[in-house]
Amino acid sequence: MNQKLKSYTAQTYIAYALIAPAALYIILIVAWPLLETIRLSFTNSSLAGEDYVGLENYQKMFSSKKFNGIVTRTFVWMFFSVSLKLIIGLIGAVLLNANLKGRSIFRVLVMPPWVVPIAIGMLGWLWLYNGYFGIIAGVGMRTGILDGPFGFLAYKQSAFISTIIADVWVGTPMVTVFFLAAMQGVPRDLYEAAYCDGASRWDRFFKITLPQITPVIITMSLLSAIWTFNSFEIIWILTEGGPRGSTTTLIIDTYKQALGNYKFGRGAARAVVVMILLMLFAGFYLALLARINKKISHE
Amino acid sequence: MTFILLPFIEMFYASLRPLDHLFRSPYQFYSDDLSFWAYQEMWNTVPMLGRYIFNSFFLASCVAILTLIFVIPAAYAYARFKFPAKNTSLYILLAINMFSGAVILIPLYKLLRTLGLLNSYQSMIIPGVAFLIPTAIWLLKSYFEKIPIDLEEAAFVDGASRVQILRHIIAPLSTPGLVVVGIYAFIGAYAQQFLFAITFNQKKEYMPIPTGLYEFIGYQSVKWNEMMAAALVGMLPVLLLFVFLQKYIVEGLTAGAVKN
């Protein structure tokens, strides 16, 4: 017994020693900055120096109409983007899971937007959205939908929609790939049994595939919501949050406040709001994951 | 499918067309003199392009190597040992993945400024590594777990030390896993070169491709054909890497989230 206990603690020490470098690194570069951000949010920190100002940053932030608009906008943006990603991803996964010729090539071809540096992909979208010379405006003008050049990123509503579309373009491949992996994990005999019972394609999808991959759909929608919430580069490159703030999400606003104006205190207060929301998402996600894992291990 | 590929096709098409064909409104679908001219011209228009490409590679390699150095021992510990707070810390790692770099930019900015590291390679490498460590640990852990523990026990009985086991048994057997995780880190590092790069670095000579090209968008008249050519050249390396290794990377990533 004593021997066992001893080797157990020795193991623990070795394990901690092996993990220590990575852990310290993360504490220094991620955990400490998170705490420091919280502290800074109670100051008027700038390049000049800092003083504690209590809750002033928060009071100002929550009483500003603009900020409340930004929060609402962030969630609307997220809602559309995430739902589109899930719907397109599900359809894509079903198609890729079907017995089509050359599906392995298609499986590779869906992935580029996910792998390519987002910032570079967005340069392509800037060109597509170009109001005078871009292909989208071009098709619109040729077909008569548009009666002249139209800068998709220059007007409030169209910019809002355009950034969502670009975000969906970036995010869908990953969702598709995860759904596909889940669908391939569904036991074959379920389908065979259903086939023998004469179930139609629709039945098989709605009564077997969908229920079987529901856990993955739920986790992916949460993960996707988190990533979408964090999306910075797409909006920043396409519109920098404009025109007139119409595509300014929380992340963009945080960035602008903090590093556009070097008002660290105000930026930090926004970052704290972002943090709290992210922790809520992450908590949901991890709780869900733990539940799913428990279920699996019980089965 | 069209939705996913159209932007790439149009980028490639635009890169082949002469500039005056691009600058016609409404959009012309047909050009008769396609050429790779833009691929030559872009080096003159964006004089630092070669440097940007080098920077991107250099940054991504440094980040990937550093990530591996931190991750190998940690992943090994998670795969082999039992210790208090093991699962909790693994979940904390997952949670870190969910934080955007944007949340911690302010303290990092101040920290890097105090250390005099703003506008340097390090300013982009240091935060880059931190955000790749969590996923890399999860990925590598699952590779280590696949190595039969009997092998190690046998060596242990023969009197090999932990370090010897790591070097002579684990390392050779896990080379494929290490390569995949290394490439994952490289692709990740290559792809993330924007937020930290625009925030912590203003110096042209250290800019990676994304920020380098982004600077040019601000100019009066963008030479779109060359811009698209440069963008395609910039995304080519990761695309190639990914096409060759997609099977392994996708397997590893989805295994974590789907089955766990």
pLDDT, tens digit, 9 for 90 and up, residues A156-181:
888 899 999 999 998 898 898 888 88
Q: Which amino acid, A149?
A: P
Mean pLDDT for chain A overall: 83
Based on the number of CB atoms within 10 Å of its own CB, is B111 exposed (0-12), middle (13-18) or buried (19 or more)? buried
Do A154 and A289 fall into the same domain?
yes
What residues contact A87, with CB distance under 8 A and at least 6 apart?
none
Name the closest residue on chain B to residue A125, using Cα atoms: B7
What residues contact A115, with CB distance under 8 A and at least 6 apart?
B187, B191, B238, B239, B242
* Rounded Cα gap, residues A155 and A163, in angstroms: 12
Entry pTM = 0.84
Do A126 and A4 fall into the same domain?
no
Do A126 and A243 fall into the same domain?
yes
Q: Nearest-5° angle of CA B193, CA B194, CA B195?
A: 120
Question: What is the token pair recorded at A138?
Answer: 């071009």
Q: What is the pLDDT of residues A62-88, one digit of tens each?
A: 888 888 889 999 999 999 999 999 999
**What is the pLDDT confidence band of residue A1, given thresholds at 50, 70 and 90?**
very low
DSSP, collapsed to helix, strand or coil, labels residue A43 as: strand
* Rounded Cα gap, residues A182 and A220, in angstroms: 11
**Domain contains A50:** no
Q: What is the pLDDT of residue A291?
A: 79
Do A153 and A128 fall into the same domain?
yes
Residues of B with Cβ-Cβ distance to A230 under 8 angstroms: 98-100, 102
Q: What is the pLDDT of residues B241-256, one digit of tens each?
A: 887 777 776 776 666 5
Answer yes or no: are the C-beta atoms of A228 and B100 closer than 8 Å: no
Q: Which amino acid, B51?
A: R
Q: What is the pLDDT of residues A116-148, one digit of tens each?
A: 888 888 888 888 887 777 777 777 777 777 777
CB nearest A26 (choices: B130, B192, B214): B130
Say if residue A278's pLDDT is above 70.
yes
CATH number at A193 reads 1.10.3720.10
Residues of B with Cβ-Cβ distance to A108 under 8 angstroms: 243, 246
Q: What is the pLDDT of residue B63?
A: 93
With CB atoms and an 8 Å threshold, state whether A19 touches B77. Answer: yes
ipTM: 0.81
Say if residue B259's pLDDT is above 50.
no
**Domain contains A49:** no
Interval A11-37 mean pLDDT: 87
Q: What is the pLDDT of residue B260?
A: 37
* Rounded Cα gap, residues A250 and A265, in angstroms: 16
Closest C-alpha among A237, A253, A251 to residue A119 = A237
Q: What is the pLDDT of residue A296?
A: 63
Selected for mutation to probe chain B from A74, A116, A257 (highest B CB count within 10 Å) is A116
What residues contact A153, with CB distance under 8 A and at least 6 apart?
A126, A129, A131, A159, A162, A238, A239, A243
How many domains does chain B divide into? 1
Q: What is the pLDDT of residue B166?
A: 72
Q: What is the pLDDT of residue B69?
A: 92
What residues contact B40, with CB distance under 8 A and at least 6 apart?
none
Contacts 24+ apart (CB under 8 A), B106-109: B106/A33, B106/A36, B106/A37, B106/A40, B106/A45, B106/A258, B106/A259, B106/A264, B106/A267, B106/A268, B106/A271, B107/A32, B107/A33, B107/A36, B107/A37, B107/A40, B108/A29, B108/A33, B108/B200, B109/A258, B109/A259, B109/B199, B109/B200
* Rounded Cα gap, residues A41 and A31, in angstroms: 16
Answer yes or no: are the C-beta atoms of B142 and B75 closer than 8 Å: no
* Rounded Cα gap, residues B3 and A110, in angstroms: 10
CB nearest B238 (choices: A115, A141, A169): A115
**Domain contains A255:** yes
**Domain contains A149:** yes
- Domain of residue B179: give its range: 2-259
Interval B140-163 mean pLDDT: 80
Do A135 and A34 fall into the same domain?
no
Q: Is B156 on the interface with A (CB under 8 A)?
A: no
Question: What is the token pair recorded at A295?
Answer: 């279920």
**Domain contains A46:** no
How many domains does chain A divide into? 2
Do A186 and A249 fall into the same domain?
yes
- Domain of residue A23: give its range: 1-40
Question: What is the token pair recorded at A217?
Answer: 């759909």
Answer yes or no: are the C-beta atoms of A133 and A216 closer than 8 Å: no
Q: Is B227 on the interface with A (CB under 8 A)?
A: yes
Residues of B with Cβ-Cβ distance to A124 under 8 angstroms: 7-8, 10-11, 228, 231
Do A23 and A68 fall into the same domain?
no
Interval B69-84 mean pLDDT: 87
CB nearest A112 (choices: B8, B25, B83): B8
Do A134 and A274 fall into the same domain?
yes
Do A227 and A289 fall into the same domain?
yes
CATH number at B208 reads 1.10.3720.10
Residues of B with Cβ-Cβ distance to A268 under 8 angstroms: 106
